[in-house]
């Protein structure tokens, strides 16, 4: 299983992608604010909506990044630090 840490300054983030890891994951926002955009997996493309939200320090996101396309953007004000791990 993969553990990870993402760090970046305002305006940085991940481009729209899906992952290729074994399980879904939790991601805890430690510092800074980061906007996420989730785009539905193909099987619910015509029924599900895009989801856009911001995570703040102390919040934890649980998402299957293998299925949901995702994109992130660190918001102005501080660097962003996120830790996460796969779980089953
Ligand atoms: O947290 C980020 O900025 C990127 C997260 C990501 O792309 C991932 O978990 O696969």
- Domain containing 60 — which CATH number? 2.60.120.590
Q: Taking Cα atoms as reference points, which of 34, 33, 46, 88 lies closest to residue 66?
A: 88
Average pLDDT on 5-22 reads 97
Instruction: Render pLDDT for 45-84 as a digit per residue (tens, 0 to 9).
Output: 889 999 999 999 999 999 999 999 999 999 999 999 999 9
Q: For residue 71, which atom of ligand 1 is closest to its CA?
A: 7
Percent of the chain past pLDDT 70, that is, above it, reads 100
3 state SS of 42: helix
What is the tally of structural domains in the chain?
1
State the virtual CA torsion across 52, 54, 58, 62 in degrees, nearest 10. Answer: 10
In a 13 Å sphere around the CA of 17, the CA atoms on its Cβ side amount to 7
Burial of 66 (0-12, 13-18, 19+ CB in 10 A): middle
Query: Structural domain of residue 33, as residue ranges?
Result: 3-87
**Residue 44: phi, psi to the nearest 5?**
-125, 25
**For residue 84, how far is its CA from the centre of ligand 1 (angstroms)?**
9
Ligand 1: residues with CB < 6 A are 6, 13-14, 19, 65, 70, 72, 82
pLDDT at 29 over 90: yes
**Residue 67: phi, psi to the nearest 5?**
-110, -40
Q: For residue 25, which atom of ligand 1 is closest to its CA?
A: 9
**For residue 51, how far is its CA from the centre of ligand 1 (angstroms)?**
15
């Amino acid at each position: 299983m993969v553990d990870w840490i993402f760090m970046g300054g305002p305006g940085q983030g991940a481009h729209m992608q899906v992952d290729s890891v074994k399980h879904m994951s939790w991601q805890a926002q430690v510092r800074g604010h980061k906007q996420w955009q989730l785009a539905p997996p193909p099987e619910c493309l015509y029924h599900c909506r895009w989801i856009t939200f911001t995570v703040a320090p102390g919040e934890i996101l649980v998402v299957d990044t293998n299925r949901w396309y995702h994109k992130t953007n660190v918001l102005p004000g501080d660097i962003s630090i996120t830790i996460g791990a796969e779980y089953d």
